[in-house]
Structure 1
Amino acid sequence: MTSTVVIERFDPAATAAGFAAYHDVLVASQDADRPGEPRLPAAELAGRLAKPLPGMGPAAHWAAHRGRELVAFAQVHFLEAENSGIGLTDVVVHPAARRAGIGTALLRAVLPELRARDRQVVEGWQVVADTAGERWAEALGFRTVRTIVRQALVVAGVDASRWDVPVPAGYRLRQWAGAAPADVLDSYAVARGAIHDAPLGESGYRWPEWTAERVRAYEGEARAQGLEQRVVVAVHEETGAVAGLTEVCSHPRRPDWGYQRDTAVIAAHRGHGLGRCVKAHMVRWLLAELPGLARISTTTGAENAHMIRVNREIGFSPERTMLAVRRDLAQPPGWTRPVS
């Protein structure tokens, strides 16, 4: 019963014991909801807590203890800039402690901080379809605003010939790690803006408005977090402008894993296979520089059938379906009632 549960603000990194308990709950939840997916290593979790991924904003945490046992936690990222009205919230309950109202109690505890930071919306992007998390969110009045396909390229299981993709006529490829070269910075920022055409469903999230200054700020944030950012672009020969791009990040603490970020092609240059070309070239470059790389993960909106197909063509396989859920904070029925 939640009457025996104490919920309070929590710093997962404050003590070794507290961090270990936090990681145990996360891993147990992952095993239940994402079977077959490699567990998040403790070192990677510690790094993410210390330095959240670029664009996530500051974070706050709450923990639910039953006696001395940590049984659940909530994490909120307070997004910034275009998304400063969103509190991005993840509630994780140990499978053995579910169906006791603990997740709802955690969400209720988070509400005052969401309102204090002038958030109008709470969204969650880590709900796995057809699990207890989806049913819980529905019961609390969240609605699904986006369906997301999670795919992974497992290097050992893919025929390398899939990455033999020729460069379309009229284009050439460039690549860099870290900062974009000054001579393509402006057109690279424009090309990054092509991601705005990727569907976001009914989520309140908005893609960044990319400018040269914002690109440099993003690159600096990635460096500060220790991320190794690699970019491959297709340059239009006639104009010298960037026509398409793909970005993958990795971290030395997890050399076996790559994180696919944006892939985008400017509308006027679509239909030439540039997306597949830059992504295939990226895989070859990564494997040449990171021989321990075993997996690249990516997420794509379910409506984006074209990119899902491109991913499949270069060796990505579907893992599971994720849901983004949303609830306006103006009238949250059921959140403020005592929890049974």
Structure 2
Amino acid sequence: MNPGDVVVEVFDSRSAAEADLAGCHEVMAAWWRVDKPDLPPLAYEDCVGRLRNPFPGFGEAVQWISRRRGEVVGLATVDFLEGKSGHIALTEIVVHPRERRRGVGTAMLRALLPELRARGRDVVEGWQLTVGGDGPAWAGSRGFRTVGTVLMQTLEVPEVDSGLWDVPVPAGYRTRRWSGAAPEDLVASYADARQAIHDAPSGGMEYQEPEWTVRSVREREAGLRSSGVDQRVVVAVHEATGAVAGLTELEVHANDPHWGYQRETAVPAAHRGHGLGRCVKAEMIRWLLADRPDFRRIQTTTGAANVHMSRINHGLGFTTARTMVVVNSGIAHLEATLARL
């Protein structure tokens, strides 16, 4: 196949023709089967929901598709990160497995770079390339370097002994929980406690966690509500001081109400060693299932170097479903590498 046959164009999933959405689903469903074999098949409605409602909190998302003779053969999504990570284009390029090694991914990368430069980005980063799949080798051949390893850990709720979630609250602490917005009496302490996520090992990732303040917490909560996300938070409160001493956050997205994403879990240094991380995660599971007894799955990503959090997750019934790598490269280096191809 001639890579020159590939046409790359910006894609608006909200106004796209049904045939193009069906083409995107075929590409993503085939990719899903090959690179995410631990998950059930990707349904059409879930695929369209993901395209139209990207993960909130990562800045503006722009999508491109690639066609060969009119047929959709690839899809790219770029999140234009903000704040301290505002120099990064978080990029995912998906190519139908039958079209791999035919220049589709490279054509898409070439087409993206001028737009990324025009938006002031100088680094491209990708977060979820499945080890053993085609992604890491392709990325390495195109100028990316591997800068971290991440575990995808999954709790298949119906398959786990619920007794694993009967975790007592450590002495000297109590738990509180909320959905949608932190209570006024805790929001400042909650923002302070979220800063502990900066202690998690991140390898050579360019992405930097934001600085958390009451304002940034409220902005994020509002963004999640506007995206139709059910955001749940469980915290441990230190009895003696009233300060938030540990937290965990989970999101349920509208396109799949039976599937949760466990996001940040953090314990400030002064309160580590008491089992608070396990405690708040266990309460989150119990709370979720009390409201949604038919809930099926919770997923979370954990840095491979974060052995403590991985051990907590396994103790609650999570299993490591797959291993992924994080890659990045400066745009100038990518341009030089592509020029030699």
Shorter-chain TM-score above 0.5: yes
1:335 is paired with a residue whose SS is helix
> Residue type of the partner of 2:338?
W
Q: Does structure 1 residue 198 correspond to structure 2 residue 208?
A: no
Question: Over the residues paired in the alignment, what is the CA RMSD in angstroms?
Answer: 1.2
The aligned residue for residue 168 of structure 1 is 170
Q: Tell me if the contact between 1:154 and 1:294 (Cα under 8 Å) persists in the aligned partners.
A: yes
Per the normalisation by structure 2, the TM-score is 0.96
Instruction: Point out 4+ residue stretches in structure 1 off by more than 6 angstroms.
Output: none
Is contact 2:145-2:327 (8 Å) kept? yes
Q: Distance between the aligned counterparts of 1:47 and 1:34, measured in 2?
A: 18
Instruction: Tell which deviates more after alignment, 147-156 or 55-64.
Output: 55-64
Q: Which position in structure 1 is the counterpart of 2:324?
A: 322
Contact 2:150 2:303 in 1 (8 A): yes
1:307 and 1:267 mapped to 2: Cα distance?
A: 14
SS at match of 1:315: coil
The residue correspondences of 1:75-90 to structure 2 (distance < 5 A) are 75-90=77-92
SS at match of 1:37: coil
SS at match of 2:121: coil
Q: Which runs of 5+ in 1 are unaligned?
A: none
Alignment correspondent of 1:334: 337
Quick one: distance in 1 between partners of 2:59 and 2:50? 12
The 2-side partners of 1:4 and 1:47 are apart by 29
> Equivalents in 2 of 1:330, 1:173: separation in Å?
49
Match of 2:273 among 271, 274, 294: 271
Helix, strand or coil: the match of 1:183?
A: coil
Which residue of structure 1 lines up, in the alignment, with residue 225 of structure 2? 223
Aligned partner of 2:38 in structure 1 is 36
SS of match in other structure, 1:189: helix
Contact 1:255 1:290 (C-alpha < 8 Å) held by counterparts = no
**Are 1:177 and 1:230, in contact at CA under 8 Å, matched by a contact in 2?**
yes
Residue 241 of structure 2 aligns with an amino acid whose one-letter code is: T
What's the counterpart of residue 295 of structure 1? 297
- The equivalent of 1:4 in structure 2 is 5
Displacement after TM superposition at 1:130 (Å): 1.8
More divergent stretch after superposition (39-48 vs 89-98): 39-48
- Aligned to 2:246, the other structure's residue is in SS state strand
Range with bigger deviation, 326-335 or 283-292: 326-335
Does the 8 Å contact 1:75/1:91 carry over to 2? Answer: yes
| 1:34 shift after superposition | 1.7
Mapped contact 1:27–1:40 kept (Cα < 8 A): yes
Amino acid of the structure 2 residue aligned with 1:148? V
SS at match of 2:111: helix
- Name the residue aligned to 2:76: 74
Mapped to 2, the partners of 1:105 and 1:253 lie a distance apart of 31
Gaps of 5+ in 2: none
- C-alpha displacement of 1:56: 1.3
Task: Establish whether residue 241 from structure 1 lines up as the match of residue 239 from structure 2.
Answer: no
Give the secondary structure class of the aligned counterpart of 1:334.
Answer: helix
Identity %: 55
Letter in 2 for 1:12: S
Query: Residue 189 of structure 1: which of 176, 188, 191 is its match?
Result: 191
Cross-structure match for 2:20: 18
Helix, strand or coil at the partner of 1:182: coil
Deviation of the 1:337 alpha carbon: 4.9
Counterpart position of 2:147: 145
TM-score (norm. length: structure 1): 0.96
Residues 41-190 of structure 1 aligned to structure 2 (within 5 Å): 41-190=43-192
8 Å CA contact 1:108–1:336 kept in 2: the answer is no
Match of 1:250 in 2: 252
Q: Secondary structure of 1:141's match?
A: coil
Amino acid at match of 2:8: I
- Alpha carbons of 1:85 and 1:139: their partners in 2 closer, same or farther (altered >3 Å)? same
Q: Give 1:21's aligned amino acid.
A: G
